[in-house]
Amino acid sequence: MMRSMELFSGAGGLSLGLTKAGFHHNLVLEWDKHACETIRENQRRNHPLVSSFPLLEYDATKLDYSSYSSDIELLAGGPPCQPFSLGGKHRGHNDHRNLFPEMFRAVRELQPKVVLIENVKGLLRQSFSTFFEHILLQLTYPEVTPRANETLSEHLARLEKKHTRGRHRGLKYNVVFRLLNAANYGVPQRRERVFIVAIRDDLNIEWAFPDEEDETHSQDALLRSQWVTGEYWDKHKVATKDRPELSDILKRRIKKMSHTDDDGKQPWLTVRDAIGDLPDPEKGRRKAGVHNHFYNPGARSYPGHTGSPIDEASKTLKAGDHGVPGGENMLAKNDGSVRYFTIRESARLQTFPDDYIFTGSWSEIMRQLGNAVPVRLAETLGNSIHEALSKA
């Protein structure tokens, strides 16, 4: 049994995926009461993926790890991303919500075999390059901690000297990172996120992120199925008059394709693929067994917030500032109309199972979903890490 711990779990996207990959959580930590209530509601319903979660609603900065086993295969978590989000205030390491130091403390005290961290694409912005380098080197040498009154630049300089010297007898990790697009792994959403993996040096484990050959889905395969073979429209029974207009860029791209071209991948999943079998919430019909599927009025399109076209992979679901989801959390139909995604539709775009229930107000639940790791992508990475640990 592979033992794991997760910090900053949110409503459970990463946790569920890692459970499906074969990890058993010794701790699932989250401070937000609404996200914890979602997990607890599913535990009350005896959902098999979370029923055994040792959930702790607590502040990570106050957690004492001495009572937990130090024999942990995987420590995972997504430290709050608002300091680095493109939709946030961009304060980075100066933001009080920056909880990366708590992740580093957990690594020092637990010394897990592998560390998995997820965060937003904005972490790779040029303005955060110094802080990102600091994250990677602090993970490499977790015991080289900041001194009293030491600035980030001063601590980074010490870490760089340690790294270039090439000699270290204490706790050390080999660290890699990659920007992954969830759509390339069977998630019906163009969601780019940074993943950092650190492997304890003494284990001599070789590991790499999935490369392009390992990606299971592609946009080219989707365009081919739509505009070359027509299989997509036939599958969904979409008449020619109800199909979208193509941009000139896509027309030129498709013109170069042929029936014989094949990259060996499955088509990107679209919004229609994900939610097409659900009843139309605007018509007020409910389907037995479909939870969290109800119409929320008031959606409108404006520059920069035009929604997700139904026959494309959705745009990134967003948590929004102050818990209010952004205008992109909308469905854009081919007739030009828009409406908000229902909670269940959003959950499907994040590949949560249909029997996983979300609790709270609509805006609060959408914040949970906007912050989540797609379950399918978490499972993909979890399987890869699990396999490497098993071989070791």
What positions carry a catalytic annotation?
Answer: 81
- For the four alpha carbons of 331, 332, 334 and 335, in that order, the dihedral sign comes to positive
Q: Are 350 and 189 in contact (CB under 8 A)?
A: yes
Q: In what order do the strands lie in the sheet with 330-332?
A: 308-309, 330-332, 338-340
Q: Are 178 and 373 in contact (CB under 8 A)?
A: no
Give kind and range of the element (H or E) at residue 346: helix 343-349
CA–CA dist 330, 315 (Å, integer): 9
Name the token pair of 143: 């015991």
Q: Are 140 and 114 in contact (CB under 8 A)?
A: no
First CA to last CA across the chain, in angstroms? 14
Give kind and range of the element (H or E) at residue 155: helix 152-165
The residues pairing with 173 across neighbouring beta strands, listed in sequence order, are: 200
User: What backbone torsions phi and psi does residue 230 show, to the nearest 5 degrees?
Assistant: 80, 5
The residues pairing with 131 across neighbouring beta strands, listed in sequence order, are: none
Burial of 249 (0-12, 13-18, 19+ CB in 10 A): exposed
Single out the residue of 223, 230, 368, 341 nearest to residue 278, CA to CA: 341
